[in-house]
Amino acid sequence: MTASTLHTFAHPALLYRDTDEYLDATVPFVRDGLAAGEPVAVAVPTANLALLRRALGPDEERVVWRDMTVAGRNPGAIIPTVLLAFANAHADQRVRIIGEPIWAGRTSAEYPACAQHEALINSAFAGRAATILCPYDVSALDPAWVDDAHRTHPVMETATLRWDSPRYTDPVAVAAGFNQPLPQPPPGAASVTVDLVTVRGARRFAAERATLAGLSEARIPDLALAINELAANSIRHGGGSGRLAVWVEDDQVVCQLQDGGFLTDPLAGRIPPPIRSSGGRGLMMVNQLCDLVRVHTTTSGTTVRIYMRR
């Protein structure tokens, strides 16, 4: 590997319309990586995972497979637990990854977090020896979502064409564009104050409300731990206290913590801290525990909203 390729990151978006176009681009991408001796991982939705495994035949045994609807259900967890986890496991090699975080089943609540993720990959992997190909199904996705891909990916391609995106721009600025105020909680949402004295009661309050709302018993400890980490951040960095609200939205239990802090690092919760670091793991843990995490932060305060499926 030359010095120029050792520290070069590539992040193309693949635009495809059907199964044939998908396989015509992804199968050679995988096989070219294997032929070059690059570790290869594929993290795509369930149907495309099965499709690509069948198409690769015996070569599928040489690939690491992740179902993105599970591993990447929360877009905020993809960089640390899927992409960086694989890249860091092969730190002395160039890696090749197919990552498809945006599919037709994504909701409007999930999409802003997806777009932020796609933009911030460019910052998280700057200077890394990796190629991450992100497929977009242009026949099924909202055209506005496909349009955003031109801003979050330096290179665009189809099964037969490849070109530099003239609309690609600063990834942190693009991610900031999706830092929008969240809708207000419903009128019936119950809420309590969270501070150093009330944190245990607030954690218990959230667990009891979630249990009544039908969250499975197995997930209650995850919810309590996520609330504990958010409360700790509010106490340490958010002015000493916050306001916790809990409600039900469709098939999910939603918890929101508002405080007076300002989240300055756009990659907070996405980059694992050094092993010996005493902090910096709270939001990353929350990202891994929850099905969706949405954040809105300004100099006036921060709102973190977590979703857990019932």
What are the beta bridge partners of residue 254? Answer: 247, 307
| Domain positions in the chain | 3-177, 190-309
Q: Transcribe 83-95 into DSSP letters.
A: IHHHHHHTTTS-E
Contacts of 33 (CB under 8 A, 6+ apart): 39, 40, 96, 131
Contact call for residues 11 and 132 (beta carbons, < 8 A): yes
Residue range 212-239, pLDDT digits in tens: 999 999 999 999 999 999 999 999 999 9
Does 190-309 carry CATH code 3.30.565.10? yes
Contacts of 281 (CB under 8 A, 6+ apart): 272, 273
Is the predicted pLDDT of residue 3 greater than 60, yes or no? no
Q: Transcribe 144-170 into DSSP letters.
A: HHHHHHHHH-SEEE-SS-EEE-TT---
Residue range 150-201, pLDDT digits in tens: 999 999 999 999 999 999 999 999 999 999 999 999 998 999 999 999 999 9
What are the beta bridge partners of residue 248? Answer: 253
| Spatial CA neighbour of 182 closest among 90, 254, 130 | 254
Query: pLDDT band at 275, cuts 50/70/90?
Result: confident
Cα gap 273→157, rounded to integer Å: 34
| Spatial CA neighbour of 269 closest among 302, 246, 247 | 302
Q: What pLDDT does residue 278 have?
A: 60
Residue range 24-50, pLDDT digits in tens: 999 999 999 999 999 999 999 999 999
DSSP 247: E
Return phi, psi of residue 270, to 5°.
-115, -20
Residue range 62-93, pLDDT digits in tens: 999 999 999 999 999 999 999 999 999 999 99
Architecture per CATH, 3-177: 3-Layer(aba) Sandwich (3.40)
Cα gap 47→3, rounded to integer Å: 38
Cα gap 218→190, rounded to integer Å: 23
Query: pLDDT band at 22, cuts 50/70/90?
Result: very high
